[in-house]
Amino acid sequence: MSITYLEAIREAQAKLLRDDKRVFIYGQDVGGTFGGAFKATKGLAKEFPDAYQHTDQRRCDGGNRHWVCD
């Protein structure tokens, strides 16, 4: 059996989320349709909705000199 590096990452995250209820996913766009910038969390939000309780928090980026918050 052969899987891609991305699939291996996604499967490892799913295993951790299944095995330990203290584990959660946090980051920008990780719970969205695409599963983050690299799609490593795609589909996990549907399977583990409680693991994404923190993804709607306000995010900031420091950049070089200016802070941008959404």
Q: Which two tokens stand for residue 44?
A: 């996990």
Does residue 60 sit within a domain?
no
Asked whether residue 67 is domain-assigned, the answer is no
How many domains does one find in the chain?
1
Phi and psi of 69, rounded to 5°?
A: -125, 145
Please write the tens of the pLDDT for every residue from 33-51: 788 878 999 999 889 988 8
Residue 62 placed within a domain: no
For residue 15, give its domain range: 5-55
- On the question of pLDDT at 68 being above 90, the answer is no
Whether residue 65 is contained in a domain is answered as no
Residue 25 maps to a domain = yes
Most distant pair of Cα atoms in the chain: their distance: 48
pTM: 0.71
63 inside domain: no
